Chains A and B, each alone.
Chain A
Amino acid sequence: MYKATSQLPGVFYRRPAPDQEPFVEEGSVVQDGQTLGLVEVMKTFNEVRAERPGRVSRILLAEGEEVEPGQELFEVEDG
Chain B
Amino acid sequence: MRVLVANRGEIAVRVVRACHAAGFAAVAVHSDADADATWVRMADDSRHIGKSPAPKSYLDGSALLSAAQDSGCDLVHPGYGFLSESAEFARSVEQAGLGFVGPPASAIALMGDKASARRAAREADVPVVPGSGPVADVAEAREAAAEIGYPLLVKASSGGGGRGIRPVRDDDELAEVLPAAQAEARNAFGDGTTYLEKALERTRHVEVQVLADSAGRAIHLFERDCSVQRRRQKLLEEAPAPDLPERTREIVCAASVRLAEHVGYRGAGTVEFLVDPAGDPHFIEMNTRVQVEHPITEMITGVDLVAEQLRVATGQPLSLAQQDVALRGAAVELRINAEDPDNAFAPSPGDVTTFDLPGGPGVRVDTGLVRGARISPFYDSLIAKLVCWGADRAQAFARARQALDEFTVEGLASTVALQRQLTANAQLLRGPVHTRWLEQELG
Q: Which residue of chain B lies nearest to A20 when distances are taken between CB atoms in the complex?
A: B187
Measured between beta carbons, the chain B residues less than 8 angstroms from A44 are 346-347
A-contacting residues, B176-206, CB 8 Å:
187-188, 190
| Nearest-neighbor residue (CB-CB) of B187 within chain A | A17
A42 touches B380 (CB 8 A): yes
Nearest-CB distance from A48 to chain B (Å)?
Answer: 14
- Chain B residues with CB under 8 A of A65: 53
Asked whether any CB of chain B lies closer than 8 Å to the CB of A8, the reply is yes
Measured between alpha carbons, how far is A41 from B338 in the docked complex, in Å?
A: 11
* Interface pair B381/A42, CB less than 8 Å apart: yes
> Do B188 and A17 touch (CB < 8 A)?
yes
Tell me the complex Cα distance, A55–B407, Å: 50
Q: Among the interface residues B53, B56, B339, B377, which one has the most CB atoms of the partner chain A within 10 A?
A: B377
- Contact of B51 with A66 in the complex, beta carbons under 8 Å: yes
Complex contact B187–A19 (CB within 8 A): yes
- Known contacts A17-B188, A42-B377, A64 near B347 by CB under 8 Å: no
Interface-centre pick from A17, A65, A66, A67 (highest chain B CB count, 10 A):
A66
Interface flag for A29 (CB, 8 Å): no
Known interface pairs A19-B187, A42-B338; A66-B52 also in contact (CB < 8 Å): yes
List the A side residues contacting B188 at CB < 8 Å: 17
A10 to B338, CA, bound (A): 14
Contact at A64–B349, with CB atoms within 8 Å? Answer: no
- Chain A: which residue is nearest B186 at the CB level? A19
At the interface, yes or no: A9 with Cβ under 8 Å from chain B? Answer: yes
The 8 A CB mask of B325-358 against A (1 = contact, 0 = none) is 0000000000000110000001101000000000
In the complex, the chain A residue whose C-beta lies closest to that of B51 is A66
Q: Which residues of B contact A17 (CB under 8 A)?
A: 187-188
Select from chain A the residue with minimum beta-carbon distance to B381.
A42
User: Does A41 contact B347, Cβ atoms closer than 8 Å?
Assistant: yes
Give the chain B neighbours of A67 by CB distance below 8 A. Answer: 377
Residue numbers in A under 8 Å from B349 (CB-CB): 8-10, 41-42
What would 26 A/B residue contacts be, using CB atoms closer than 8 Å?
A8-B347, A8-B377, A9-B349, A10-B349, A10-B377, A10-B378, A16-B187, A19-B187, A19-B190, A20-B187, A40-B377, A41-B349, A42-B339, A42-B378, A42-B379, A42-B381, A43-B347, A43-B380, A44-B346, A44-B347, A64-B55, A64-B56, A65-B53, A66-B51, A66-B52, A66-B378
The 9 closest A-B pairs by CB, nearest first: A42-B347, A17-B187, A10-B377, A9-B377, A11-B53, A42-B381, A41-B377, A41-B347, A43-B380
- Seen from chain B, the residues whose Cβ lies within 8 Å of a Cβ on chain A are 51-53, 55-56, 187-188, 190, 338-339, 346-347, 349, 376-381
Q: Which residues of A contact B (CB under 8 A)?
A: 8-11, 16-17, 19-20, 40-44, 64-67
